């Protein structure tokens, strides 16, 4: 029988048994077998119990391994978090320790619990020892300690307080900021002390610079690269009429005359690209719409990297200087033309003398009423008209003798306007405002009459199509250093004169009239007479709104009987 073989019949499960033979060695080399027989039911029951125990042990082992892994993973995570926390704390501590401002931790009584290097250095500069365990107020100037202590107490109590301006003991200005901080239930606060000595010095420097720029006579404007105004000084505000509030934030082009707006952006762009200084003259527009000329310098402003960030413009009003330059150029031109015209007129006058003289002689030998006699009369009439024109040229060139006497202007003006009135249409009205009737100028009556007649004739011609009003004003004008002068104004409401033509209207033979309607000598003669009398003539005109001439003549204290021959007469 083999060990483990069942005994009994195969079908009788209840009677089946399991036998196990155990060999036993006997003395002498023999063996016996010990057979142990166990019922099958008992064997199977023992095996089932063993299987259940094995499964339980396996489950417990698996659970134990999983629990151990979980606990080990959690521990590792906690260790990593702890490492990160400690690294962050060390980093924060390093930042606080080496921060460029004093950082302190204080309790409600202001006793320092922690101070970084900068705070320690501040205390050392004020002659104090280590701050730990000592009142924070000791590092401050005595005048600030009470207020600083109150700020710290309030912050330690959890209140939000505003920054406090203080002074370090023995040092410069600083700003103290206290922030509530609570740990372990105790009231504490974090105090930051920032030394603002350098900032205050820089601010004072900027303030002095801004004040200096604000007080200079030149107009100063600062704009960004887009041409937006960021700063204007008082001189520019006074020059333009725009307040600082009205100017800042607006484009620079709002100050420019309309014709310059179109290419202003292009000029600025070129300036940006080239980084050069622009100098020139700009016609600017004031708040009231009036124009003025300014000598302007525009310079780029660069940052530390060399990039252009802003522009600074310095301007000076040169309107009066430009007008003086224009008058000087006009006077020089007129003087040159006058010299040329005078020489031609003298030669032409000699020719006319022969023509008129021989014509008069020929008339004596012709029958009045005959065709030849009539033709000669036309020749003499033309010669005399030419002689009158020559006389006007000589008057313009100031090369004809003129005896000047003290003249009352008002009566001459009235008489001249009366002569013109007879030939004027009813659509033109006349307004005379003549004061200063007893004021005299040193001139000849003919000169005054020529001034009034020529200016009035031009005014009438400008209004002949649509009508209008001729205004003639005479008044005294006190000009300080210039002395008392008489102001004669002749204004019309006619078609006006284009701006491009204003510089040419006093040029001899220049006219805007049609051929045959004028010689172009009227205004040039007026200019020559006024200059000869030591006066000044100006003109203002707007197309469609009329023209105004103003003649200023020096007043004389002399009375009738005094005479003066022009030093430029011949």
* DSSP character string of 248-292: TTSBGGGGB-HHHHHHHHHHHHHHHHHT--EEEEEEEE-TTS-EE
Q: Determine the Cα–Cα distance for residues 85 and 81; give it in Å rounded to an integer.
A: 6
pLDDT (0 to 100) of residue 81: 80
User: Of 263 and 504, which is predicted with more confidence?
Assistant: 504
Phi-psi region of 289 (alpha: psi -120 to 50; beta: other; left: phi over 0): left
Nearest Cα residue to 405 out of 444, 435, 349, 367 = 444
pLDDT (0 to 100) of residue 549: 92
For residue 398, pLDDT over 80 is answered with no
For residue 309, pLDDT over 60 is answered with yes
- The least confident of 139-148, 207-216, 268-277 is 268-277
pLDDT (0 to 100) of residue 256: 84
Can you point out the beta strands (E) in 28-118?
31-39, 102-107, 112-115
Nearest Cα residue to 123 out of 201, 178, 200, 195 = 195
Average pLDDT, the chain: 78
- The least confident of 159-168, 219-228, 397-406 is 397-406
Mean pLDDT highest for which of 89-98, 123-132, 142-151, 392-401? 142-151
Contacting residues for 491 by C-beta, under 8 A, at least 6 apart: 459, 470, 471, 472, 473, 546, 547, 548, 549
For residue 560, pLDDT over 60 is answered with no
- pLDDT band per the 50, 70, 90 thresholds, residue 167: confident
Identify the bridge partners of residue 251 per DSSP, sorted by sequence position: 228
Contacting residues for 263 by C-beta, under 8 A, at least 6 apart: none
- pLDDT band per the 50, 70, 90 thresholds, residue 399: very low
pLDDT (0 to 100) of residue 27: 67
Q: In what order do the strands lie in the sheet with 112-115?
A: 112-115, 102-107, 186-195, 173-183, 164-167
For residue 562, pLDDT over 70 is answered with no
User: Of 256 and 73, which is predicted with more confidence?
Assistant: 256
pLDDT (0 to 100) of residue 558: 65
Taking the CA atoms of the chain, what radius of gyration do you get in angstroms?
57
422-449 average pLDDT score? 80
pLDDT (0 to 100) of residue 230: 92
Q: Are 524 and 396 in contact (CB under 8 A)?
A: yes
- The least confident of 229-233, 291-295, 321-325, 493-497 is 321-325
Nearest Cα residue to 113 out of 187, 163, 165, 164 = 187
Q: Which helix (H) or strand (E) holds 554?
A: strand 546-556
DSSP-assigned letter for residue 1:
-
DSSP-assigned letter for residue 402:
-
- pLDDT band per the 50, 70, 90 thresholds, residue 221: very high
Q: Determine the Cα–Cα distance for residues 469 and 427; give it in Å rounded to an integer.
A: 8
pLDDT (0 to 100) of residue 565: 42
Degrees to nearest 5, angle at CA 69 with 68 and 75: 90
User: φ, ψ for residue 314 (rounded to 5)?
Assistant: -115, 125
Degrees to nearest 5, angle at CA 273 with 270 and 276: 75
Q: Are 547 and 494 in contact (CB under 8 A)?
A: yes
3-class secondary structure for 466-477?
CCEEEEEEEEEE
Q: Determine the Cα–Cα distance for residues 72 and 78; give it in Å rounded to an integer.
A: 10
DSSP-assigned letter for residue 496:
-
Q: Determine the Cα–Cα distance for residues 405 and 441; give it in Å rounded to an integer.
A: 8
- The least confident of 97-111, 204-218, 245-259, 523-537 is 204-218
pLDDT (0 to 100) of residue 570: 28
Nearest Cα residue to 546 out of 468, 452, 475, 474 = 468
- pLDDT band per the 50, 70, 90 thresholds, residue 248: very high
The pTM of the full predicted model, rounded to 2 decimals, is 0.44
Q: What is the pLDDT of residues 19-53, one digit of tens each?
A: 666 676 666 666 666 666 667 666 666 666 666 67
Q: Kindly tell me the burial class for residue 178, based on how many C-beta atoms sit within 10 Å of its own C-beta (0-12, 13-18, 19 or more).
A: buried
For residue 551, pLDDT over 90 is answered with yes
Q: What is the pLDDT of residues 329-375, one digit of tens each?
A: 766 666 666 666 667 777 777 888 888 888 888 888 888 888 888 88
User: What is the three-class DSSP state of 111?
Assistant: strand
**How close are the terminal C-alpha atoms of the chain, in Å?**
178
Q: Determine the Cα–Cα distance for residues 287 and 239; give it in Å rounded to an integer.
A: 9
For residue 561, pLDDT over 60 is answered with no
Q: Determine the Cα–Cα distance for residues 510 and 239; give it in Å rounded to an integer.
A: 37
287-299 average pLDDT score? 87
């Amino acid at each position: 029988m083999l060990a483990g073989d069942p005994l009994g019949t195969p079908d009788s499960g209840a009677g089946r048994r399991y036998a196990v033979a155990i060999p036993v060695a006997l003395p002498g080399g023999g063996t016996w077998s010990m057979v142990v027989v166990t019922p099958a039911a008992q064997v199977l029951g023992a095996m089932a119990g063993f299987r259940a125990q094995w499964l339980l042990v396996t489950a417990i082992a698996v659970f134990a391994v999983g629990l151990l892994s979980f606990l080990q993973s959690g521990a590792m995570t906690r260790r990593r978090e702890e490492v990160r926390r400690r690294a962050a704390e060390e980093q924060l501590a390093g930042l606080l320790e080496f921060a460029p401002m004093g950082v302190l931790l204080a309790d409600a009584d202001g006793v320092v619990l922690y101070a970084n290097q900068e705070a320690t250095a501040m205390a050392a500069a004020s002659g104090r020892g280590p701050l730990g365990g000592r009142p924070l107020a000791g590092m401050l100037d005595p005048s600030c300690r009470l207020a600083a202590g109150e700020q710290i107490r309030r912050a330690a109590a959890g209140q939000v307080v505003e920054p406090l301006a203080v002074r370090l003991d023995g040092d410069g200005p600083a700003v103290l900021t206290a922030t509530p901080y609570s740990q372990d239930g105790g009231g504490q606060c974090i105090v930051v002390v920032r030394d603002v000595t350098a900032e205050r010095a820089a601010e004072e420097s900027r303030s002095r610079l801004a004040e200096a720029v604000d007080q200079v006579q030149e107009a100063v404007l600062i704009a960004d690269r887009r041409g937006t105004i960021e700063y204007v000084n008082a001189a520019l505000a006074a020059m333009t009429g725009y307040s600082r509030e009205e100017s800042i934030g607006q484009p620079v082009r709002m100050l420019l005359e309309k014709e310059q707006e179109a290419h202003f952006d292009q000029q600025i762009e070129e300036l940006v690209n080239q980084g050069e200084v622009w100098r020139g003259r700009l016609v600017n527009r004031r708040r009231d719409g009036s124009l003025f000329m300014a000598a302007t310098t525009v310079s780029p402003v660069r940052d530390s990297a060399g990039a252009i960030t802003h522009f600074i413009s310095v301007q000076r009003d040169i309107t009066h200087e430009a007008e003086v330059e224009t008058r000087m150029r006009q006077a020089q031109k007129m003087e040159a033309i006058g010299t040329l015209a005078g020489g031609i007129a003298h030669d032409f006058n000699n020719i006319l003398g022969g023509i008129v003289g021989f014509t008069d002689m020929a008339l004596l030998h012709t029958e009045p009423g005959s065709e030849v006699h009539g033709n000669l009369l036309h020749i003499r009439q033309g010669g005399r008209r030419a002689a009158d024109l020559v006389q006007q040229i000589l008057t313009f060139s100031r090369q004809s003798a003129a005896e000047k006497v003290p003249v009352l202007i008002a009566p001459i003006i009235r008489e001249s306007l009366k002569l013109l009135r007879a030939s004027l249409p009813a659509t033109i009205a006349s307004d005379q405002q003549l004061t200063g009737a007893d004021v005299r100028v040193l001139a000849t009556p003919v000169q005054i009459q020529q001034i009034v007649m020529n200016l009035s004739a031009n005014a009438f011609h400008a209004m002949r199509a649509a009508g209008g009003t001729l205004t003639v004003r005479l008044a005294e004008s006190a000009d300080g250093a210039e002395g008392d002068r008489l102001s004669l104004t002749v204004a019309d409401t006619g078609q006006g004169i284009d701006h491009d033509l204003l510089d040419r209207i006093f040029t001899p033979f220049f006219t805007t009239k049609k051929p045959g309607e004028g010689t172009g000598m009227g205004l040039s003669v007026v200019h020559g007479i006024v200059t000869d009398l030591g006066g000044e003539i100006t003109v203002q005109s707007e197309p469609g709104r009329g023209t105004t001439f103003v003649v200023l003549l020096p007043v004389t204290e002399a009375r009738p009987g005094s005479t003066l021959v022009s030093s430029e007469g011949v």
